[in-house]
Structure 1
Amino acid sequence: MSASRVCGLSELVQDEARRVEVDGVAMAVVLDGNGEIHAIGDVCTHGDISLSDGFVEGDTLECWAHGSAFSLKTGHPLNLPAFEPVPVYEVVIDGDDVLIDPAVTKASA
């Protein structure tokens, strides 16, 4: 598999998550307050809730339903009730294009 365009840089809003899907894999893409772009799995590991509907604060994304916050850098939950991490995907920027390959996670890159 190769990286696919998921959106343009100009389509991202700082400190907001955007839901994208690549090859059937749902992801939350975030432009954080430091200008870094992150991509993590979009499904909260505590419940079947879309993380992209949650709240971005610093380098975390909080599930709106039960309050578990996940690190955008590692995917690890920072508080309960979630205790399993979500995948974190490598992001490639090519001009204005944001590219992600769902087969390449930071753990396997």
Structure 2
Amino acid sequence: MSENWTWICATDELLPGEMKTAFDEITGAGIVVVNLDGTLYALEDRCSHEEFELSAGSVDPDEGSIECVLHGARFDLRDGRALCAPAYEPVPKFPVKTEHGGVWARDDRG
């Protein structure tokens, strides 16, 4: 498991309802971090239906989801599970932390 955290942005650059992206330099995975009412969630920035960036889509703060613009698949920001067709598989959820004035995440898959 990688212990290398990826810098996402300064904490004051990620306000509620906003998202930021980065790439894990170790695994090459895209990461999208979303501020949902003050709580940060990190998912792989890739739709499980058809490899497209989730960050190109929109966040629904009431539902706590992110929607892929390609075909409308939605994913729960809290756990990555698919909420509707055409996606059936979840997207990986990554750990996220705030430290030293910044937001950090990492791809912690084996």
Distance in 1, Cα, partners of 2:8 & 2:21:
9
Q: CA deviation at 1:14?
A: 2.8
Which residue is equivalent to 2:93?
88
Residues 64-89 of structure 1: CA deviation (Å, up to 9, x unaligned): 11111100111001000000100001
Which residue is equivalent to 1:26?
30
Higher strand share: 1
Q: CA deviation at 1:18?
A: 2.0
Equivalent residues of 2:7, 2:22 under 8 A apart = no
Pairing 1:41–2:27 present: no
Distance in 2, Cα, partners of 1:19 & 1:52:
7
Residues 17-60 of structure 1: CA deviation (Å, up to 9, x unaligned): 3221112110111111x111111010101112100011101211
Instruction: Using the aligned pairs only, state the percent identity.
Output: 31
Larger CA deviation: 91-100 vs 73-82: 91-100
Equivalent residues of 1:17, 1:53 under 8 A apart = no
Which residue is equivalent to 1:72?
77
Please tell me the residue identity of whatever aligns with 2:51.
Answer: D
The runs of 5 or more residues in structure 2 that have no matched partner are: none
Distance in 2, Cα, partners of 1:16 & 1:52:
10
- The alignment partner of 2:49 has SS state of coil
Over 3 Å off, 4+ runs:
none
Please tell me the residue identity of whatever aligns with 1:57.
Answer: D
